[in-house]
A = this chain, B = another copy of it.
């Protein structure tokens, strides 16, 4: 049954990613997810108790993956300012490489804090904190101004990246390539906060 490494469980998550990305959570029909996964409607209810649970499970999975990946990459850099650059590039690359996931994070993450009342998105908080920690480290090394508040800085930087992601996801043609955007965004931010 509901084993996470189970074949059908995976198929449902994968299908739901595509279906949710297409029209958002509310417009997505369970029967459409089933069809996309190539299984019967009822089968979904062997693996998930409610439609909502599919979305929550999907988040957890994707965010864990993103978070682990980002942590690993950040560790490869020792200079905090370089870490910020790498964060930007990796974040945007992730969006580019996984459009469906990006749409979910873009569209659904926004609603999530509303409709998943009690669901506190721990993984997202950790993701933001990765940035906060880099800023803190930079301050301690004297590379970043001492008056910078990590709690504000991390949101400013994430917000900037995130807005570019939305633009990327919603655009048909891409005016700027990922590398250019990442370079610019991280440069504004680094110049803005460095000592």
Contact = CB atoms under 8 A, between A and B. Distances in A.
Contact of A176 (B110, B152, B158, B175): B152
A57 interface: no
Given A111-B24, A163-B158, A175 B189 contact: no
Contact of A188 (B115, B164, B184, B192): B192
A184 B156 contact: yes
28 contacts: A24-B114, A24-B115, A27-B115, A107-B111, A107-B114, A110-B166, A111-B111, A113-B170, A148-B184, A149-B184, A151-B175, A151-B176, A152-B180, A153-B188, A155-B163, A155-B164, A155-B167, A156-B160, A156-B188, A156-B189, A157-B160, A159-B160, A159-B161, A159-B164, A160-B163, A163-B163, A187-B192, A190-B192
